[in-house]
Amino acid sequence: MAKPLPVSPLARPLPDLATIAGVRLSAVAAGIRYQGRTDLMLAEFVPGTVAAGVYTKNACPGAPVLWCRTALTTPYARALLVNAGNANVFTGRAGIQACSDCADATAQLLDCPPQDVFLASTGVIGEKLPQDRIIGALPAAKAGLDDNGWADAARAIMTTDTFPKAARRDVKIAGTPVRIQGIAKGSGMVAPDMATMLAYVATDAKLPQNILQSLLSSGCSQSFNAITVDSDTSTSDMLMLFATGLADNPEIDDINDPALAEFTLALNDLLLELALMVVRDGEGATKLVRIGVTGAESNLSAHRIALCIANSPLVKTAIAGEDANWGRVVMAVGKSGEPADRDRLSVAIGGTWIAKEGGVVENYDEAPVVAHMKGQEIEIIVDLGLGDGEARVWTCDLTHGYIDINGSYRS
């Protein structure tokens, strides 16, 4: 971009970040696309670290996604290398070769097999990745590895993000203190269909890969897979969880073990916090929108209806204009293709029911609705009156800022 983007009015400051035993990170400037800022992050994990991941279902994934899917067939990770400014997508054999070259170079530096190196790229699609610049920056990245490198790493992976995103939780597994900490990037091309743009979480907990993967997939469904900015599923979406095992908690071999309950809740909460930061940083966003759907025929049906409302440009622009246009919500429900009955449908905004069972609530008080629409956090509830299905998703409003950013993304 020609000039820095203004920070989102919904931004959140970085929390008090700590260290994760067995994880060191660094951030360097490789000059991939941006000038005068870091654009390459390296994370090193202690030998024995276990990895789990979920990746985009976009049918045109980037070369790094293909690399990581293959690397995840073994349980271990020693390194994570992420660049910003170039997505390494739609680059054919050159993209695959770039991944191989970067993994080989990183493996040599850290003395590990290339398949233990995970890769990610984010940025412009269709341009050849300048892997020579990345490889040339690796010695400085290795030299800069630090236990406290989390904040710098979060900044290095930003593209159109206006603030770095991170979250932390401290909990216990069977009385043993463990920590979970993660970073994320994303603000546009956000309609995850597995995870998000890029998000990386690490813990010092000792957990086998099958449980780690189950925890991540389950937590993703209620967080990163419940957000949307613009309905576009990125070619580079990736969410990974790394467990170093250095907390040395008692062995866990069942995901339903009561000893894991506190950890599970904390992980789910951290994933949701990171996901909501992505929505808060939605390109041009000025409002965070929570959409709840109840009374659907199934939870899946409720989820699809909620996303249809969240992705509607008419709903999103009405919210941007602070107009409680509930008719647009009804329209979105009707076009979803899911079971709905006009004469059972009810809509509430900010806790005030505007429409009930197919009609406007007579003499409803519009004042609290008007006041609610002027706030930064908007809530829309839809009840279909058909069954017990329910879901919640989050989105943001749609302003001219989204056009400004995406109309000049490559310039």
Q: How many residues does the chain have?
A: 411
Residues 332, 334, 339, 343, CA torsion sign: positive
283 is annotated as contributing to ligand binding: yes
Residue with tokens 């293709």: 337
159 is annotated as contributing to ligand binding: yes
- 196 belongs to the catalytic site: yes
| Token representation of residue 25 | 């990170």
Continuous segment of H or E residues that includes residue 242: strand 238-243
236 is annotated as contributing to ligand binding: no
Residues 331, 335, 340, 341, CA torsion sign: positive
Among candidate residues 224, 225, 276, the one with its CA nearest the CA of residue 8: 276
Q: Where are the beta strands (DSSP E) in 329-409?
A: 346-349, 352-356, 359-360, 377-383, 389-396
DSSP 299-346: HHHHHHHHHHHHH-HHHHHHHHTT---HHHHHHHHHHT-S---GGG-E
Contact 192, 245 (CB under 8 A): no
Cα-only R_g, the chain: 22
| Token representation of residue 116 | 């233990």
91 is annotated as contributing to ligand binding: no
Continuous segment of H or E residues that includes residue 373: helix 367-373
Sequence-ordered list of residues with C-beta below 8 angstroms from that of 104, at least 6 positions apart, any chain = 114
Beta bridge partners of 352: 349
Residue 356 vs residues 319, 347, 362: alpha-carbon distances, Å: 21, 7, 9
206 is annotated as contributing to ligand binding: no
The C-alpha atoms of residue 220 and residue 218 are separated, in whole angstroms, by: 5
Active-site residue identified among 49, 91, 196, 399: 196
Active site residues: 196
Residue ranges of the annotated binding site for substrate are: 159, 185, 196, 283, 406, 411
